[in-house]
Amino acid sequence: MQWIYLILAISFEIIATTLMKTSNGFSKVLPALGSLIGYGICFTFLSMALKKIDVSVAYAVWSAAGIVIISIIGVVIFKESVSALKIISILLIILGVVGLNLSGVSH
């Protein structure tokens, strides 16, 4: 169940971050409010996941998944630039998370 909580935390973090981008610096009320609510829900699920998952693993998975998915959303939806260095850097983040998960941590 703790991994479901972590997936939900990641999902709401992605929603909240995307809404933050569309809020135009919190000048648009609905996206800004949605972002704040999304982060509240995100951190609630993250805290539930941390009851059983090591913080080093949970935070790494949570942040890496957020970085990867938000980067894809940035490129696809918001037409942000993409470079070889950006792609390599994201792949290194993923490699780091895989390394943490393979480091003998029990699930």
- Its pTM stands at 0.86
Coil, helix or strand at residue 60 = helix
Angle at 7 between CA 19 and CA 102, to 5 degrees: 130
The pLDDT score that the predictor gives to residue 106 is: 53
Residue with tokens 């959303």: 73
Could you tell me if 49 and 23 are in contact, meaning their C-beta atoms sit under 8 angstroms apart? no
Please report, in tens digits, the pLDDT of each residue of the chain (107 residues total). 999 999 999 999 999 999 999 999 999 999 999 999 999 999 999 999 999 999 988 998 998 899 999 999 999 999 999 999 999 998 998 898 888 777 765 54
The pLDDT score that the predictor gives to residue 105 is: 54
